[in-house]
Structures are given as structure tokens and as C-alpha cells.
Amino acid sequence: MYVFAKDASAIDALVTRTYVDVEPYAPGLMEFVAKYRFDGVDGLFRLADYLNGTLASPSILTASELSYPSENYLMAFVLGLAQYFRAGREVTDGNYYNRFLRVAAMQGHVDDEQRPNLDDDGRRTRKLANRFDDAMHCVQGRPDLIAPIYVGGEGNFVFKVAGGSRTVVGEVDGHHRLFAALMTGTSQLQIES
């Protein structure tokens, strides 16, 4: 077997992967996961049908609580994920999460770093497709296909590293991957710092 990489450090990174236990790390996640956790693709579709028919309404698109991880945001993500796969892995203009993010951006509920991704239709569509594909890997029981979560900086997000130690960070690039893992019962995800 041959392994190709830029240098020895790239090979070392593959061999010595670091994983974190998937646990709620931000307010609001535990409550949502406890209420709505699901198993598999059928479970996702059942949850989306329930949210669409019972809880979700156009009013959440104008609600004041539009930031991650509010319940409105998480509901919009679940609904959009189900729509994405029902539409043959296409982010449509009518996708619930796509519409939700456009409203959130217009109302100023999006951080400046994400604004360029949301203001440009092509970039937003690619970004959402990537988020949905990563989430679906968790739904399908294939978290090994997800890119590592980046964690770093100083802050107050606490993660338990596989093996028992804890790391405290301020930056997380991978909130949606962690959310999908929580919702589907995935126990660990790979990180890089």
C-alpha cells in the first residue's frame, strides 16, 4: 500500500487523529436534542414532517431568536436538511434553512465572518450543501466521512477529548457537524487545532 502526502507531518496527522466526545457544549443544544433526537434517515424525515406540521410556521422566519443554537435556528436546519435530501441533494430557493438564513442575515443576526457566504447566492448554496452533506453522513452512520472540526483559541467551550482529558476553546469551526452528531447519537468526531 502506498500513501501520498505533501510531507511527513501530513501522514502523522492521518495516523494520530484526535477525537472529542460529542456532548452538548452550548446553551440550548441539550434541550433541543432531548426533545427531538432521531435515528437514521427515516427518523429525520419523520421529525421534519412533525416540525413542519406542528411547530414550524412562517413566524419562525421573522422571530427575534435567529442565532445558533436557538430552537428556531435548529428547527430551520432540520427542516432544510430533510428538504435538501428530498429534493435530490439540491439547495432550492424554497429550502427552509436557506430562506431562514437570508432573513437572519437581513435582520443582522449573522456574524461578519459568515456574511459574505450568505449574501452571495452561489456561495450560500455551496456552503449549505456542504453543511447538509456533512449532517447526512452522521444521519447515515458515517461520521468518518466528515472533515475534522477545528477548535482553538481561548474561550469557554469545553470538550472532552477521547481518553478523558478536557480542552477549553473559544473558536469552533464545525457547529453544524457537532449538532448533527448530537442529534443522531454519534459518539465522537475528529478534531484539529
Residue pLDDT, tens place only, 130-148 = 999 999 999 999 988 988 8
And the C-alpha cell for 19? 477525537
Share of the chain above pLDDT 70, in %: 83
With b for 16 or more beta-carbon neighbours within 10 A and e for fewer, the 85-103 pattern comes to beeeeebeeebbbbbbbbb
Domain extent listing, the chain: 15-192
| Long-range residue pairs from 31-34, CB within 8 A, at least 24 positions apart, any chain | 31/71, 32/69, 32/71, 32/74, 33/182, 33/183
Which helix (DSSP H) or strand (DSSP E) does residue 167 occupy? strand 166-173
Spatial distance between the Cα atoms of 24 and 60, rounded to a whole number of angstroms? 23
The answer to which of 7-11, 24-28, 41-45, 178-182 has the lowest mean pLDDT is 7-11
- Angle (CA) 120 48 26, round 5°: 70
Is pLDDT of 53 > 60?
yes
CB 159 within 8 A of CB 21: yes
**Report for 93-107, 147-161, 163-177: range of highest mean pLDDT:** 93-107
Beta bridge partners of 19: 190
Task: Compute φ and ψ for 56, nearest 5 degrees.
Answer: -75, 140
**For the chain, what percent of residues have pLDDT higher than 90?**
28
